[in-house]
Structure 1
């Protein structure tokens, strides 16, 4: 069996061992930060010329000019038309569910009118232009295209710009098909920190966007951190995580495979099982030992389980919930008889998969809710990607004459207390016009 950490809440060093297991430093080192800063500066000052040079250096193909970096939409549509029927049907089925779920997330504008006629409210508008980064190195992720692009389109984003690296100049047909299906407006064959910089600041060919979403490697994550403020970003995600709470009644092979499903992402991924049944933990360990050799990515899974995986024994379900809330996992499976009762006690989790039949993998592809989730305990303060990430809210205030008079005294008093006389006078002047026609 691959090495995996064994923890128990009855051990005196449990908390220290758990903290060590959860520790993840997502901030890149100084060398990466310096390299990314150089790339960003080159893109800002030299634009498309630098973009073409970086594409030749890092992706291994030399575009004739910047125009060659953009894929015609006809080429993108061709991919959708030419992929195998089963793949197209799977993409279409997943897209329909993701879109339907996103429709429920759309926030509407609202307002109310006070007794004196003053109107207050909130105006909700979509972002104008969004950049979507799609990884294209070790693997291709058409599911990420759907999960990022469809909520943006449901929100009403006018223009969605996708960038995707193409190592050796090779295009991934499934990624392009997903882009066509999701309604991506423009596609560029560029990646890395240089693509993030191009989206943030714009080049002669690539327009600057308002927000950048999508996962990437350490250089992409570092670049997203660096350009935040110039543009919005979704999040800086760490390695994939799964935490499973099980009462010991689920088929241990199912649970072992669920642990594998996240561990196979990369060696830094984290898979943890928590149970209050000691014998069940041993059954799952046996399943891990028996099933792992049959998997193509067994070496990656074994490395991930050894580095950051764990089987944790707790005293009872309540203690399991306490551990889960502390971990604040990206994916949380409640593989128990009454998952709704347990879910009511969960305060921190990116997505909650309830019941014995709800494999986390369903959420990755087609359940409907977004698979872009907070990692590294950030579920304590952040949420899954959704339509709301592509909408802005503006406060709306329309004072009546009577309302202006009523509010002027409060505003003037507070403004003078802060030493801001012009603020006070501005409120007072309108407040004095109560004998005039309502100016609203």
Structure 2
């Protein structure tokens, strides 16, 4: 029988990771204990770069907030430090950072050094809205937590297992070899996490199985995962490619920018802004990019909301059906992200288009139960259909520790 002191010793030996997800005007953070399903501390600093900056945090049943009057990222990171000192019962082992785009430099997690930071900078043209913000968080955190390893986890890295026939565009070879024009994919941390959880939920070895995964939030993407490896995904060189999203168009005719230039006089910056910020659900509905608002409006007969949801679900189903060709079989379909986890209507309508794959939902199982746990919602005779809450911070923490465990500190490879 384990003694109380032995139990305490075992608990204290568990390592502690601070996870940071830095955006241009926000920093999301979580303090995770190795092997624990929930963080001991989590929070969000938002409205940074403005006088309305605020840091909100939660630890168990305790929660509070503090003003960040100067709106600086450095002030927000400094504000996290006393919270770490207060709630951490042991020293930090590592800081894990989410980085959106690693280009072809990174095929997995990397311990950050000057070379790795420089490689992330080189990928800024591929993610001009995301990578600069990620680098702000990295630099500020490395200044505050200077004596522990910092690990970068890349959204794109999970998809580096895609074969060339999935990631190459049909454009001149020099555009790929010299300028990196290819499909990279995103949301890799989420797709990786829910695919592993799907195998656990169905009693398979972790990392096994043939899955179609749908990460549905304001940004949306789909993925074909076989035995823990991405074989294909919907997003491409940038997060604009793929399915319909909150404000992003997803796939459109590549000649659309030229057409808009000729007929409306739009320059590339105007077209880029419209396709990224004024399209998707917002553009189709003329009402909102929030699926909850659209579902409510649809129930009241709003034509724009109805069209937006119809297009969204059809394009999502078409993407999933197309990705199925990458798999040798289908063990299940996984819904995750804010919409995927919480909208029975979207799951029902999407699966309704996928009868070709033998998929069918049991209506009574599709309802969202209290606590929204991971669960199966398929009808009898259907391949598994799963709803699995994503936990990207947990995945980042686990990958950070795994990198340190296996001592996979490698030099950043150079492109040919």
Name the TM tier (shorter chain): under 0.3
TM-score by length of 2: 0.26
Specify which structure has the higher proportion of helix: 1
Q: Which has the larger radius of gyration?
A: 1
TM-score by length of 1: 0.25
